Structure 1
Amino acid sequence: MAETEAELQAYLKEHNVESLLKDIVVKLCVDKPDDELDFIKNYMIQLQRERGTNVEDDEEEEEEADAGPISRGRSRRAAISASVMTEDDVEDYQRKVIRKDAPTMLRLQKAVSDNVLFQHLDSEELTEVLDAMFLIKKQAGTEIITQGDEGDNFYVVDAGQLEVWKKDDGADESKMVLELTTGGSFGELALIYNQPRAATVKAKTDVQLWALDQDTYRRILMGSTIRKRKMYETFLEKVQILADVDKYERLQVADALEPCTFADETNIVKQGDEGDDFFIIVEGTAVVTQSNDKGESGQVGELGAADYFGEIALLKDNKRHATVTAKGEVKCVKLDRETFERVLGPIEDILRRNMENYQKFTGSA
C-alpha cells in the first residue's frame, strides 16, 4: 500500500497534476462558465497545442464549430489560462521587495481588497504580493495597455487620471467607457490568462501606477500553497482523527484549511450560536465552558495543539453545545461547513462515534 501511494505521489509530481488542477479551479472561479466541462475541455486542447501534441485538423475545426461562448461573452481562446507553473519554478523564485511607505501599502491593500484574485490571500501572501509591485510613471496621452495586445501586468492607479477606451466588434471607432482615478485598478486577468487585452487604457494626465507581473503573482500563490501543504501535512498527523487516514486524504484537508488567530479571552465559538465552522488548534490553549438548564456555568475542559472542536454543530446541523474561549493568543485552522462535509467525509463515522464519548470534550462545541 505504501509503495503504491509513493508511486502515485511521484506520478502526480512528475506530471504537475496538482498545479494543473489548481489552475483549472482558479479559472472556473473567475469565469463561472455555464458549461464547465466544455470550458475545461477547451483548456486541455490549448495545452496540447502549447506542448506540441498532435491534434487532428478536422478535430480542431469540429471543436471550433461546436464550442459556444465560454462565459460572459469571452471567446474560446480568451478563456485559456497561462501555462502551468511547476514546483521547481516556485523554488527558484526570489522574493521581490520594492520599498513603499505605510500610506502607499494601505492604498494598495484597499485597491485590491474587493478583487477576486486577491480576496483568498492571507495577510502574509498579500504583503508579499504588494511588496513585489513596481512603480511606473507615464505622461499624459500615453497608452498603458492596448486592446488586442497580450496582457502582462496588473495595475493600480496611485496618482493621476486614465481613460478606458473600447472598440466593439464591427465598430469603426473606439469609445470611452470608463475613467479611472487614484485607487482604481485594471488588467487583473493578465495575472492568470494569456489573453488579448479587452480594452485600451490611456493616461488622461501624467500618472503614477503600481504594477504586478503575472510570473510574480503565480510564483507567490503557488509557493504559498506548497509551503502551507508541507507545514500542515506534518501537523495533521498529530490530530487524532486524521492519524489513520491515508496521505492523500490528509493533503486534501491541508489544502482546504484556513488559518485564523484569536486574541486572549476571545470566544471562538459560543454556546447557543449557530455553528458553521470546524476548528483545529495549531498553537495555544482554549478553555471549554458549558451552561446547564439551571443557568449554572463552569469549565468542562481545556484544549491544546492538535485538539479540535465544532464538529457536532456541523454533523447534527444544530447549535453550539459549549463555549470555547482563547486562553492567551490561540492560532487555529478551520473548515467551513461545505468544505468540512467534502474533505472529512471519509472520517465522518469516526467523528460521530467520538461525539458520544470524549475524554477531552473536544466535540462539545
Structure 2
Amino acid sequence: MTNAQTVVSIQNLNYFFGEGELQKQVLSEINLEVKAKEFVILTGPSGSGKSTLLSLIGCLRSVHQGSLKILGQELNGATKEQLVQMRRNFGYITQSSNLLDFLTVQQNIQMSLELQPDFSPKEARAKTAAILEAVGLAQKLDAYPGNLSGGQKQRVAIASALVTRPKLVLADEPTASLDKTAGRNVVALMHRLAKEQSSAVLIVTHDNRILDLADRIVNVEDGKLGLAFNQELSLVLPGFDDALLEKATTKPTLLTYESEEVIVHQGEPASKFYILLEGEVEIFQESPDEPPRLINHLSRGDYFGEVGLLRGGKRTATVRVAKNSEVKVMVIEEELFQLFLGNSELTKADIVRRLHQRVMTSHLSNALPNVDPSQIIAVASQAKAIRYGANSTIVKQGEVADKFYLILEGEAEVFVGDRHNELASSQMKAGEYFGNAQLVDGQKYPFTIRAGANTDIEVMVIDRESFCSLILKSNTNQDVVASVLRHRLMNS
C-alpha cells in the first residue's frame, strides 16, 4: 500500500483540555498515517483519548499543536469554515446510527448527498437505490427507522456514510448496540464496500470480535499511540494469554523493513519469531548452483521463524520483503516464544500444525520444482503427515498405487522380490519420495518400503487425485514429469 494516496497524516500532535493550571494533556506526540483502502482499528481503554483523536481527524475540534493533514491539507490553523468544508469528504458512523425517525430510509441517505456541491435530485435517487442494494436493503427504501432492526439501522448508517464515496470513513463504536452476529456483519459490510470505493476507514472500538478485519490495529493508552501487541498476538496465536507478557523478561519489538530487504537468511542461526503486521514478504529456498526458488508469499497475520526455532536451530529459508512493499513485523525473542508454547496447548497446536504444513511445502517444492508454488501450498495444506514405527511396512509390493509418499523425517528401506526371496535394494532419506511413477501410470508398486530398522519415520501422504492434479497443473508436460520421476525412483 506504499503507493496509495495518503488520506490522513499526523505528526507530533498534542491536544489539551482546559486552560492555565487546570489544563490537562489528553493526546501526546501522536504520529499516524492512513492511506486509501486501509482499514485501521483504534483500540484502548475508556478515557485513553481514542474518541478525542477521532474527533480531531473528523474536523470536529481544532488542532492545538502539531500537524494534522487530511488529503494533503493542513488543519492546524484552519478556520471553522475550512473545517466544515473538509468534513464533506468524510462519512460518519456512530453506535446509535443517528437516523431521523420522521424521514424514510431514502430521505435519511439523501441528506448526505444534499450536502455535496453537485447535488442532483435525480442522481441522488439513483445513488440511494444503488447503495441500499449494496447493503442488502433495497426493499426498505420507503421504510421508516422505527420499523427496522438494530442491524438494519446500522446498515442504513453505513449506506449514508458511503453513498458520497468519501475519501475517509470514521466510525465510533459502530457495533456497541448490536449482538455478536449483527455487529460482525455490519463491520464486514463496511469493510467490503469501503475497499471497493478506495475509502480509508478509521474505527474506534472495544469489540475484539472484529479485530481480524483490520489492516492495522493501533492502541491508544494514556493519550499515546502504540502498537496493539496483545490484540495482534490474540489474532495470530489462539489461546494467547495477556498475562504472559507481564511474566516475560523480554517484550515484543517492532521492526520496519523496506522493499526487497532481507529479513532472515537461510542457514543463519534462528533466535527470533516474527509476526507480519503490515506488507508482504516472499519465502525463498536456496540450493547450491541454482537460483533462489520462490515457495510462498506471506501477508498480514502470517508468521514465520518457527521452523528454525523448533527444528535444528537454523533458518531453513530466506525471507525477503516483496517488491514495492514496506513491511512491519513484531519480533519475539526465543524465550518469549517458548513461553507462549509452554503455556497454551492451543497456541502450541496451531504452531505445530503450521510447522508441519511448511515442512511439507518445503519438501514438496524441492521434489517437484517445476510446479507452481501456489499449487504446492494448496496440496500440502490438505496432505497428511503419518508417522510409522521402526520396521513398519509403508507400501507392499503388488499393491495398487493410490498415494504419493514423501519422507519428512527418518529413513526408509526399499525391498524387491517376493516375501520368500526379498532383497534390500536401497535406502531413502528425508526429502526423497516414492509412489509417483506408479500413480501417473496406474501401476502396482514394484517394491516394498519399510521404515528403517532403528528409527521411526514421518511421511507426507498425498492421494492419487491430488497428486495427478498437481502434475497436470504444472508448467511441465505430464509425460516428461512421469519419465523424470520414474528415473529418479529407479536410481535412488
Instruction: Tell me the TM-score range normalised by the shorter chain.
Output: 0.3 to 0.5
Greater fraction strand: 2
Q: TM-score, normalising length from structure 2?
A: 0.30
Structure index of larger Rg: 2
Q: Which has the higher contact order (CA 8 A, sep 6+)?
A: 1
Q: TM-score, normalising length from structure 1?
A: 0.39
